[in-house]
Chains A and B, each alone.
Chain A
């Protein structure tokens, strides 16, 4: 499984756009990039997943450059309730991984009023 590197923490203010970048230099051809969000004392929650270019849903956008060695989670106009830990994961359910996910320490995003 490809190792991921992301900032330990980030700060923002309400209403700003937040971009969290994750590097995954050893990403494999079959790997997808997935982001999860975790609030204190809760399990992580799926946010978005992508393979290449750009993916957008009602919560966030995911930007993946052509070489796929990094990805950026974009949260538009954050609010206080977006304060959470954000995890970047890379992997593939096919083959030997069998759907296992490896969460690092993630990025602690703190949104200030």
Chain B
């Protein structure tokens, strides 16, 4: 069976500090990978998605970046965090099957607080 892991679960960082959130998927190969952010009281905002190693597409211009160094590893980074980067960060994966809108499977999330 497939599983998705995210770490850390919670993180408190000062403004201006760097960020690295990691997501890994097990039990599948060549998944589509996604990073979302959910600010307090808001819906999920798609940040990045990837269809393969080294292939990253950005949805929203910001001070965040993403990388996919391995097939089942997705990393979200920032060089300098802003207060507005606080939120609940979710990683998700889906199969690369054409046809109906593929189900996305979400990880447990990382709660980031920037002070």
Contact = CB atoms under 8 A, between A and B. Distances in A.
- The yes or no verdict on A and B being binding partners is yes
Interface of A: 31-32, 34, 41-46, 49, 51, 87, 89, 91-94, 98-106
Q: Closest 9 CB pairs between A and B?
A: A43-B106, A103-B44, A105-B43, A32-B101, A46-B103, A43-B90, A32-B100, A103-B43, A104-B43
Contacts of A41: 88, 109, 111
A34 B100 CA distance: 10
Interface residues on B, range: 20 to 34
21 contacts: A31-B101, A41-B109, A41-B111, A43-B109, A51-B100, A87-B44, A92-B101, A93-B99, A93-B100, A93-B102, A94-B98, A94-B99, A99-B94, A99-B101, A99-B102, A99-B104, A101-B46, A101-B104, A102-B46, A104-B43, A106-B43
- Chain A binding surface SS class: loop
Nearest to B104: A101
Contact of B108 (A31, A42, A103): A42
Contacts of A102: 46
Given A32-B100, A103-B46, 20 more contacts: A41-B88, A41-B111, A42-B108, A43-B92, A43-B108, A43-B109, A44-B104, A45-B106, A49-B101, A87-B43, A91-B101, A92-B101, A93-B97, A93-B98, A94-B99, A98-B32, A99-B104, A101-B104, A105-B43, A106-B43
A106 B108 CA distance: 19
Contacts of B43: 87, 103-106
Contacts of B102: 93, 99
Nearest to A108: B41
Given A41-B111, A44-B44, A100 B34 contact: yes
Contacts of A104: 43
B100 A99 contact: no
A98 B51 contact: yes
B74 interface: no
Contacts of B46: 100-103
Contacts of B92: 43
